[in-house]
Chains A and B, each alone.
Chain A
Amino acid sequence: MLAADGTPLKASLARALRRQKLRALMLIAPLLLFVVLTFIAPIVDMLWRSIENQLVPETLPRTVEALKDWNPKSGEVPGEAVFAALAADLQIAVKAKTHTRVASRLNYEQPGIASLFRQSGRKVKRLEEGNYREQFLDMHDGWGSIAVWSTIKRFSGDYTAGYFLNAVDMENTGDGAQFKSEDQQIYLFLFGRTFLLSVTITFTCLLLGYPLAWLLATLPVRTSNLLMILVLLPFWTSLLVRTSAWIVLLQQEGVINDTLVTIGILDDNNRLQMMFNQTGTIIAMTHILLPFMILPLYSVMKTIPPSYVRAAKSLGATDWTAFWRVYFPQSVPGIGAGAILVFIVAIGYYITPELVGGTDGIFISNRIAYHISSSLNWGLGAALGVILLGVVLIFYWTYDKIVGIDNVKLG
């Protein structure tokens, strides 16, 4: 079949479609560019650090090369050639002031290397030609430690799996990856807790949000608008203000405990511990995330015609059957949207757990924040971030398989 201009209709249609797609792409191009430049590129750049290790081979190129022939299992400190290479590398690095950078990098793996490099850096200018091994061993005991040398050897590649191993509580001490000792394991435990608490918070949000959203959707407009403002006002209030308000309410000398003691329900010496633990985190975060549950639920419930429930009842269904068989299935897309929103926001939360979580209510994000802003171990922070992102994507994928992402509605 041919189109009016003589070309095959199929080709002509395809061309028209292509043109349309191109036009649509042009329309969203500014936004796309903006997202790529300000969102995706920085994230990829940050996550890249979880495997990157170029600092070591770039700063100590000769040492890294010379160490290739050394076997940590020999039980002996490397020979003169390695120390001569180290002397040459350090002399250049000290001039460029990069020796302390590589030292803080290696110190993450082996405590003590930071001061070893810093102290040696001051003395390296005074090194004399020849017999470097002896001179370095005189300079600092650390150079006689097998652990120090095998750390340098292990982290001499351009890329490393070390950060990821660390992020799952493992280490590679030379004979394969294995779990760290019990008292140093923390991240897997925190991942588990973050997940459990986020699920709990999602459920409490659903439990509290569902009836409220139903009320909002069924009440007359004037009343429901008023209620809506009550939902939105806290939503617009600063996160810190709301968290601090919960501290005032829930702490042991706080409003709730004081009231309970005054009316005689509680003894003054047995005040409830509701803050600085998991309870505090769950209460405060449920309150903060509640609007994320209510709003999608509300907008979906708004579209369910009330006549369906009336019809069910007129056909003889009880209140419960009418709700469970007719109303509830239609509100599921709202539950899906709300639950996904709340869960994903919760899993990455850190300010509220930091303030009210005490010791057993903190999340994995608190450790990520620590490594990004305090310890400056960005590689480990990035590795933890990659894992967290991966976990979220897996959940999303599972959700899509089980419920179907097309069934999620925000309104």
Chain B
Amino acid sequence: MKLTKLFLGAATAALCVSAVQAQEMTIVSWGGAYSKSQLRAYHEPYMAKNAGVSIINDESAAEAVAKLRAMAEAGNTTWDVVDVVASDAIRLCDEGLAMEIDPETQLAPAPDGTSAADDFGDLMVSECFIPQIVYSTTFGYRSDVAEWGGKEPDDICDVFDLEAFPGKRSLEKRPINNVEWALLCDGVAPDDVYSVLETPEGVDRALAKLGTIRDSVIWWSAGAETPQRLADGEIVMGSTYNGRLFSVIEEQKQPVKMLWDWQVFDLDGWIIPAGLSDERKARALDYIYFATDTQRLADQAKYISYGPARASSAPLVGKHADLGIDMAPHMPTDPDNAKNTLLYNYEFWADYRDDIDAKFQAWLAK
């Protein structure tokens, strides 16, 4: 009798534990300053509002596509909400690995009543993707290079000008962005860039232009490399994500400046994996509804210099939470910074990414 009671008690306890565990939610993101900004702008207020929920941070967003596919094949998806770049979201959606979202019913409208679909506008590039921030890949340069004789680069083509601006540059070890910049500086009109790139001759032309500076390029594969090399003086200019440059310039006070000309906008946002149980799906949707409303998106800009993806959030962007500086001029979307811009061409790169990447890597290897 006693023993039975003990067992019952243990079983109830175990049930309680699993009930508590059921309130856990695994959110996958990029780590570093970016995850920290999400923690403060989204996770903490969400957990304060929903006492039972605890959020587990996983920092494997860089391998998210491959891992989600592996999880789906194993029939055990352990992630609830995943932060990915838009091109990955499109692929996940294509492969049936992400859930489709209805912006009318599943996302919060703007405070003035504008529907979420209109508020996000063109930035909803896939049915499965809820945009969060606009970031850009752009250049930073050292402002103390003696050989430049007081000149500073203000045009993307200065990257390709070794005579006026000698020194090492760093570029990303992939064709995306680099081939566009190369063609722009090889005299291709901005509107024609992708129709030129569709042809093998166009790719050769872009690679030939990159070839003119190839000996002065150090190639990067992690976003942290360019800021580190700029700070070390290993390079004089380099491309990376604008938020990384912000922290080099404003937080670490290095002699580095931004070159915004022809920055390439890209989007980062959430997806919910396909095939979650109803209970987990409901919880993930509840989190998404909260974390992508107008105020929350504006709040994130207090911690990192990426632009909120909702039009209605822009006027609410204030000062940096710790530094106290005005964030608007540091946003890639600020009119002064966004005179010449490209938007990452999702359709084109979904088609040609593997093909051009193979050529690019073959070109690099030889």
Contacts and interface: CB of A to CB of B under 8 A. Distances in A.
Interface of A: 97-98, 100-101, 103-104, 107-108, 111-115, 118, 183-186, 189-190, 193, 251-253, 276, 354-355, 358-360, 362, 367, 370, 372-377
Say what secondary structure dominates the interface of chain B.
helix
Contact of B351 (A112, A253, A370): A112
A183 B204 contact: yes
Interface of B: 62-63, 65-66, 69, 91, 93-96, 168, 173, 204, 218-219, 221, 232-234, 347, 350-355, 357-359, 361-366
A361 B61 CA distance: 27
Contacts of A97: 96
A145 to B, nearest CB: 13
Given A115-B351, A183-B204, A253-B234, A376 B69 contact: yes
Given A108-B354, A373-B66, 8 more contacts: A101-B94, A104-B91, A111-B355, A115-B350, A118-B350, A190-B365, A354-B221, A359-B365
Given A184-B362, A360-B365, A376-B69, A98 B353 contact: no
Contacts, number: 86
A107 B204 contact: no
Contacts of B232: 251, 253
Contacts of A186: 358, 361-362, 365
Nearest to A380: B354
A341 B364 CA distance: 30
A215 B100 CA distance: 65
Given A183-B204, A358-B219, A376-B69, A107 B354 contact: yes
Nearest to B361: A186
Contacts of B221: 354-355
A359 B365 CA distance: 6
B66 A111 contact: no
A118 B221 CA distance: 30
Contacts of B168: 252
Looking at B94, B351, B352, which has the most chain A CB atoms within 10 Å of its CB? B94
B65 A373 contact: yes
B356 to A, nearest CB: 8
Given A251-B232, A253-B232, A103 B362 contact: no
Contacts of B350: 107, 114-115, 118
B29 to A, nearest CB: 17
Given A101-B94, A118-B94, A183-B204, A372 B66 contact: yes
A10 to B, nearest CB: 51
A368 to B, nearest CB: 12
Nearest to B357: A375
A113 B91 CA distance: 14
B218 A276 contact: yes
Name which of B355, B359, B363, B365 has the most chain A CB atoms within 10 A of its CB.
B365
Nearest to B346: A115
Contact of B352 (A111, A253, A276, A362): A111
